[in-house]
Amino acid sequence: MTHAYVVGQMTIKDQDKWVEYRSQVLATLTPWAGELVFRGSQIKALFGQCAHPEIVVVRFPSLEQSEFWHASAAYQALIPLRCEAADVVLITYEA
């Protein structure tokens, strides 16, 4: 079975706003069967450079579900808060 993974790389600009965003974003995943795989902070680059020290990985049952989640009104409403809270790059992978 193929899954889609949304990988976010972040640099947090405002910790309080980031906490607020994180407290709301998980609920937006549920209608699309999104599952938080992990969140983490970079400890050390073994090779090369990574522009953002924070990471999140979310698994969806399909690419279509990940796109529906991102386009959903619930998630779109959080984007302004996300932009205030952090610089974020979101990338979708299929595996």
Using one digit for the tens of pLDDT, what is the confidence trace for 6-32? 999 999 999 999 999 999 999 999 999
Q: What's the CA gap between 84 and 52, in Å, rounded? A: 16
Range of the domain at 58: 4-94
Q: What's the CA gap between 52 and 10, in Å, rounded? A: 5
- Identify which has the larger pLDDT, 7 or 45: 7
Distances in Å between the Cα of 73 and the Cα atoms of 17, 29, 30, 61 are 20, 12, 13, 20
The two three-digit tokens of residue 90, written as one number: 């979101």
In CATH, what number is assigned to the domain containing residue 33?
A: 3.30.70.100
pLDDT, averaged across the chain: 97
User: Does position 1 have pLDDT exceeding 90, yes or no?
Assistant: no
Per-residue burial over 25-52, b if 16 or more Cβ lie within 10 Å, else e, is beebbeebebeeeeeeeeeeeeeeeeee
User: Does position 60 have pLDDT exceeding 80, yes or no?
Assistant: yes
Whole-model pTM: value is 0.93
Number of domains in the chain: 1
